[in-house]
């Protein structure tokens, strides 16, 4: 019996700076690379061609969950292994994935620990490690939900989740500006989703959640052990939490014309 085929699957936009290193970490051991681009203007397409990826463009952005569904529709392999362009597969994780796919457990989705490099160091506290993400599963078993942001793999009671040990290395932010831009984008998508369901926000809610976020990350989850990077990350995360509630609150206000 032949070995199961594995597809590395990505959704991207303007990831030329990251994509080559990401694809180098899977080249040679995955059988298929599927990339769905939402409209890059950089050299993302050229890099995808270097690795002979199944590269297609879907410019009408439907949200993160739906975009992942559209990408999975293009997969022909038996296994989906999801990656973001700013992630790298370690040799330990590669070996573990190949072993799992050769002798899989029934109706199982695999959670991969992600080690984040943020503000000059790997963050091992703040609730950011092991930061397990569900990224490996049989293609016909499941898929992502329809969420606009913070999308999740759909699970039912018959499925089990198995945690892997090998790390997926993640460099989510180039610098502080990149953090703020990325955070604002996710915050807007979060507020879009809540507003679409008729939800309202308040500044008091935002303040309470922001304080809770800081205490949880820096104190309860030992962010202080990550030094100044842990402090900065905890402060910025609480700020981002407040901003998304403030955005939702502003949408509920009647906007009159200034006199």
Q: Where are the domains of the chain?
A: 6-170, 176-251
Compute the distance between CA of residue 75 and CA of residue 142 in angstroms, rounded to an integer. 13
Q: What is the mean pLDDT of the chain?
A: 94
95-149 pLDDT tens trace: 999 999 999 899 999 999 999 999 999 999 999 999 999 999 999 999 999 988 8
Q: pLDDT tens across 70-105, in order?
A: 999 999 999 999 999 999 999 999 999 999 999 989
pLDDT one-digit tens code per residue, 146-177: 988 889 999 999 999 999 999 999 999 999 99
Angle (CA) 21-121-181 rounded to 5° is 70
**pLDDT given for residue 1 in this prediction:** 42
From CA 63, how far away is CA 18, in angstroms rounded? 21
Q: Which residues of 67-79 are buried (b: 16+ CB within 10 A; e: fewer)?
A: bbbbbbebbebbb
Q: Over pLDDT 70: what percentage of the chain?
A: 97
Q: Which residues pair with 255 in a beta bridge?
A: none
pTM of the prediction?
A: 0.87
- Sequence-distant (6+) residues with CB within 8 A of 80 are 7, 9, 72, 136, 137, 138, 139
Q: Which CATH architecture has domain 6-170?
A: Alpha-Beta Complex (3.90)
DSSP state of 104: P
Smallest CA-to-CA distance from 2 within 81, 70, 77, 74 is with 77
């Amino acid at each position: 019996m032949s070995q199961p085929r594995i597809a590395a699957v990505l959704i991207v936009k303007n990831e030329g700076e990251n994509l080559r290193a990401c694809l180098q970490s899977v080249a040679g051991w995955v059988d298929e690379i599927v990339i769905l681009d939402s409209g890059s203007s950089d050299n993302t397409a050229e890099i995808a061609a270097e690795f002979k990826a199944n590269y297609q463009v879907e410019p009408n952005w439907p949200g993160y969950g739906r975009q992942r569904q559209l990408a999975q529709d293009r997969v022909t392999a038996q296994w989906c292994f999801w990656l973001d362009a700013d992630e790298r597969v370690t040799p330990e994780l590669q070996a573990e994935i190949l072993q799992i796919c050769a002798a899989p457990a029934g109706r199982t989705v695999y959670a991969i620990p992600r080690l984040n490099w943020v503000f000059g160091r790997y963050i091992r506290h703040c609730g950011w490690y092991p930061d397990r993400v569900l990224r490996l599963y049989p293609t016909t078993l499941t898929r992502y939900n329809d969420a606009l942001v913070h999308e999740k793999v759909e699970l039912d009671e018959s499925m089990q989740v198995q945690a892997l040990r090998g790390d997926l290395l993640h460099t989510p932010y180039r610098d502080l500006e990149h953090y703020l831009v990325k955070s604002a984008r996710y915050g807007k998508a979060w507020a879009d989703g809540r507003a679409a369901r008729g939800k309202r926000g308040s500044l008091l809610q935002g303040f309470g959640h922001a304080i809770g976020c800081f205490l949880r990350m820096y104190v309860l989850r030992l962010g202080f052990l990550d030094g100044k990077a842990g402090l900065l990350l905890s402060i910025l995360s609480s700020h981002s939490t407040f901003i998304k509630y403030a955005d939702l609150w502003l949408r509920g206000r009647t906007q009159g014309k200034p006199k």
